[in-house]
Structure 1
Amino acid sequence: MNWLFTFCSLLLLITVVQAQPTSSLTRTIQLPTELANRENQFSGLCTYRGQLLLLSESRLQEQAEAKVYGLALTDLDRQLAGSTAALPFRKYTIQGLDKAKAQIDSAKAIYEGLEGLTLLRDTLYFSIETVTAAPNCYLVRGVLDEAQNVIQLDGSYLLPLPKPLLPDGTHAYNAGFEALAAYRNRELLALFEYNYLPRANYALALRQRTARLVALPPLPFRVTDIKPVGRRLTAINYFFNGASDTVYRMAPPDPNARLIQDSIGHYQSYSRLISLRYKRHGITWKPLLTLPAEYQTYNWEGLATYKRGYFLVNDKYGPSGQSTLLYLRRR
């Protein structure tokens, strides 16, 4: 087994030392006051019918409103071109989420909020995070009615998503299926937030009411959102320098340690995008780009591809002290 460990370590080192270019353009979108409010705790992004949808975590247990905001892509284009005009927006109320929460709570899984958002054909899918000790997260779906400004959830659809276990049989702290994407308009792909087990990491391929395990090589740090880009996918890969997140840390000789430690060994937050290739029986990944230094400490939770770049949104954590919508364009 020693040769296998050495081989895997070499592959990991090669992955880490690959060039990780930064983006050539970054622009912060000036959000309306209501959307910039940090208590929205945005957790997902998705483009749909000419809009960028921003998913609020919708923490019903804290009396938060279940909602999704919409920004017209044409208005965002004007901002990217230099306009300072205020952004108009729409708010879509999510109907039926309270019933899904009641079902989850009755199963003792305990609802904690919405984490992922994607579109498959004309149906929106949302992943739901549960308390750490729960065996499952969940998936719900619904249809957006622009005329009524609502998203009506399908009350008959509540799909359990089994959480991976740590080697000692426990669950990773505060982790769920945050990354959710439609793939080639035929199925959904869900990635768990923690994927650095020595073996048995997996994503879930979802069709209708079934979930199939897809092999995934060890992937360090958090994975907080994922979106398709042609035949590949792009994901946020983020390390949060928090005392409660020790499960996401690694130390030398692990080659990934150099990305999250300074010259004297102190941990520091780190943000990048990675590229993934999905085939039926497995997923491979490689670094794509590292975010500019001034954006490393934001807790990026939402990702949407647009034209030659990406929109990213944080929850409520980061130096801005509010919701921040960022656009990155690659070279």
Structure 2
Amino acid sequence: MHTSKEYLAALLLSLVFLPAWAQQPQFAVRNLSLPKELAFYDNQFSGLYSSQGQLFLLSESRLQDQAEAKLYALRLADLDRKLADTTFTLPYRQVPIRNLAPLRARMAAAGQSYEGLEAVLIDQDDVYFSVETATPSTNCYLLKGRLNATAVVMDTTFLLPLPKPVAADGAHIYNAGFEALALTNKQVLAFFEYNYFPAANYGYALERAHLSRDAAPQKLAFDKLPFRLTDLTPTGGQHFTGINFFFKGEGGDAVYRTPATDADNTRLITDVSGFKNYCRLIDVTRTGDRLTWKPLWEFPVPYNGYNWEGLAAYKNGYFVINDKYTPSRPYRTTLLYLQKTK
């Protein structure tokens, strides 16, 4: 006959050895309707950031396509109301980004081709953007501006190169840039989109106290990660949550496929008909100068075909936004709130 102490010990032991999927958080997907201007697909949102009681939505700001350079801002209090009342129309304001064109011109003069803004980080009134450049360009860039009541005004003297990691033969990874920025107490962190190099992968750390256009990024070793890392948000301590996305495209996009020898990851992105879109959240942990990761939560199948580009932690969940691509046309901006259920 088992004693109550023996039963309790067995129960605790069984909880310790629960399968990984049973220990992961679960989320309900809340789709938040947007005003027409924000829902317009050609905003091509590429990042989210929560600061000063607001959620900032970063437009890719493709100057080469005559797009406006801008952010949008939504009050978190209004988003709370939207979550409680789905009929509520979200108020918003546009935040222009001034003086971006001269920085693009400086990149061009250095032989680098600006393609858009990919990530945003707000540190009080300082705003940082990462710039993606064309695949053949050797550098991406970190930019800095100041947020005032009506706009972000860029510092045209601050243009910090972020050298792209390359393959062993020197080849550049197709359409890959620094898609994620994060803030720690002392550093700004920049994360590359592709982290599946066979030998070494790394992010960059830059000291906040000495951050200048001449700063030298410190490399942080990053455990090999398949697919794309398209955004990242801090979640406390040295933990961050990231979007790990796979697009089934052909051509240059094929570089993000895992080989058949990597059976565990290939299983996630294939079925009987071939490759399929896939997306999950991952937990990234920094320990000293090393970054590790583990799976956190898989997006439901109907949401795998969206190109999720922006992520911001809020309360016990996350806001997530796509650039413009959806499983079917017409394309549109989709803003989700992933509400934790357990």
| Fold conserved between structures, TM > 0.5 | yes
Distance in 2, Cα, partners of 1:36 & 1:302: 15
Distance in 2, Cα, partners of 1:280 & 1:109: 33
Deviation at 1:188, TM superposition (A): 1.0
Asked if 2 retains the 8 angstrom alpha-carbon contact of 1:22 and 1:291, the reply is no
SS at match of 2:77: helix
Asked if 1 retains the 8 angstrom alpha-carbon contact of 2:32 and 2:86, the reply is no
Distance in 2, Cα, partners of 1:24 & 1:141: 34
The answer as to 2:229 corresponding to 1:227 is no
Asked if 1 retains the 8 angstrom alpha-carbon contact of 2:227 and 2:258, the reply is no
Distance in 2, Cα, partners of 1:295 & 1:152: 36
Deviation at 1:269, TM superposition (A): 0.4
Asked if 2 retains the 8 angstrom alpha-carbon contact of 1:127 and 1:177, the reply is yes
Query: Letter of the aligned partner of 1:136 in structure 2?
Result: N
Distance in 2, Cα, partners of 1:247 & 1:166: 11
1:44-100, Cα deviation, whole Å (9 max, x unpaired):
000121110000000000000000000011110011112412111010100010011
Alignment partner, residue 191 of structure 2: 191
SS at match of 1:200: coil
Distance in 1, Cα, partners of 2:86 & 2:195: 41
The answer as to 2:294 corresponding to 1:286 is yes
Q: Please say which structure displays the higher CA radius of gyration.
A: 2
Alignment partner, residue 203 of structure 1: 203
Where does 1:94-133 land on structure 2 (aligned, <5 Å)? 94-133=97-136
Deviation at 1:230, TM superposition (A): 0.5
Asked if 2 retains the 8 angstrom alpha-carbon contact of 1:39 and 1:316, the reply is yes
Asked if 1 retains the 8 angstrom alpha-carbon contact of 2:125 and 2:148, the reply is no
The answer as to 2:313 corresponding to 1:305 is yes
Query: Letter of the aligned partner of 1:38 in structure 2?
Result: Y
Distance in 2, Cα, partners of 1:112 & 1:64: 11
- Equivalent pairs counted in the alignment come to 311
Distance in 2, Cα, partners of 1:85 & 1:188: 36
Instruction: Note closer, same or farther for the CA distance 1:23–1:295 as it changes in structure 2 (3 Å cut).
Output: farther
Where does 1:146-161 land on structure 2 (aligned, <5 Å)? 146=149, 149-161=150-162
Alignment partner, residue 269 of structure 2: 260
Alignment partner, residue 168 of structure 1: 169
1:281-316, Cα deviation, whole Å (9 max, x unpaired):
110110011111211110000000000000000001
Distance in 1, Cα, partners of 2:83 & 2:90: 12
Distance in 2, Cα, partners of 1:44 & 1:158: 20
Distance in 2, Cα, partners of 1:271 & 1:309: 16
Deviation at 1:22, TM superposition (A): 6.8
Asked if 2 retains the 8 angstrom alpha-carbon contact of 1:69 and 1:91, the reply is yes
Unpaired stretches in structure 1, ≥5 consecutive residues: 1-16
Instruction: Note closer, same or farther for the CA distance 1:187–1:180 as it changes in structure 2 (3 Å cut).
Output: same
Distance in 2, Cα, partners of 1:69 & 1:54: 5
Query: Letter of the aligned partner of 1:115 in structure 2?
Result: E
Alignment partner, residue 14 of structure 2: none
Between stretches 20-29 and 199-208, larger displacement belongs to 20-29
Deviation at 1:214, TM superposition (A): 0.6
Asked if 2 retains the 8 angstrom alpha-carbon contact of 1:51 and 1:73, the reply is yes
Alignment partner, residue 333 of structure 2: 323
For residue 140 of structure 2, the aligned residue among 128, 137, 141 is 137
Deviation at 1:173, TM superposition (A): 0.4
SS at match of 1:87: coil
Deviation at 1:265, TM superposition (A): 5.7
Query: Letter of the aligned partner of 1:260 in structure 2?
Result: I
Alignment partner, residue 16 of structure 2: none
TM-score normalised by L of structure 1: 0.91
Unpaired stretches in structure 2, ≥5 consecutive residues: 1-18
SS at match of 2:320: strand
Sequence identity (%):
50
Distance in 1, Cα, partners of 2:242 & 2:141: 20
Instruction: Note closer, same or farther for the CA distance 1:115–1:300 as it changes in structure 2 (3 Å cut).
Output: same
Query: Letter of the aligned partner of 1:324 in structure 2?
Result: T
Asked if 2 retains the 8 angstrom alpha-carbon contact of 1:44 and 1:225, the reply is yes
Alignment partner, residue 249 of structure 2: 242
Deviation at 1:253, TM superposition (A): 2.5
Deviation at 1:187, TM superposition (A): 1.1
Between stretches 272-281 and 53-62, larger displacement belongs to 272-281
Distance in 2, Cα, partners of 1:221 & 1:30: 29
Alignment partner, residue 55 of structure 2: 52
Deviation at 1:329, TM superposition (A): 1.9
